[in-house]
Amino acid sequence: MGAVYFYHLTDTPLDRTLPTLLGKCREAGWRVAVRGPSSEILERLDATLWNDGFLPHAMAGGARDAEQPVLLGADIAADGFDCVMAVNGAAVTSAEVGLLERTCVLFDGHDEGALNHARDQWKDLTSQGCKAQYWAQEDGRWTMKAET
């Protein structure tokens, strides 16, 4: 069974954090799904990944989705991926956490709604037996604050 890592973004915005985390996943040889709640967010991340360091990826819905090392979409199933990164409140289930090497939940630490949603996700997933870690930014570094 995998684990879910919660990333509380305070110092570095999503557009800068996501490429770093994706790069680490790719170094591990993982295939990654980035799940977002809206096409607006996913299109912004798509542009970021092409323009800020060129991380090979695609938007879901293409003819070669199964070949993409990183796939962005709203309703991507976890099957065939090693990691799912849920951004801006995208849903993840305990069943998915169990299938994956890692599930990541990235949320904006300056948005009270995002904080509350992440807390609810933590409670829900850990109550269903998922192993979880909570990471927060301190002085530009990631620090693990909690683990189940």
pLDDT tens-digit profile of 108-139? 999 999 999 999 999 999 999 999 999 999 88
Q: Helices H, strands E: what count in the chain?
A: 4, 8
The residue ranges of every structural domain in the chain are 3-147
Question: What is Dmax (Cα atoms) for the chain?
Answer: 43
- Tally of CB atoms within 10 A around 125: 23
pLDDT tens digits for range 5-62: 999 999 999 999 999 999 999 999 999 999 999 999 999 999 998 887 778 898 999 9
Per the document, the length of the chain is 148
Model confidence, pTM = 0.93
Give buried/exposed letters for 30-42 (b at 16+ CB in 10 A, else e).
bbbbbbbeeeebb
Question: How far apart (Å, rounded) are the C-alpha atoms in residues 32 and 103?
Answer: 10
Vertex 73: Cα angle to 103 and 10 (nearest 5): 55
CATH topology of domain 3-147: Rossmann fold (3.40.50)
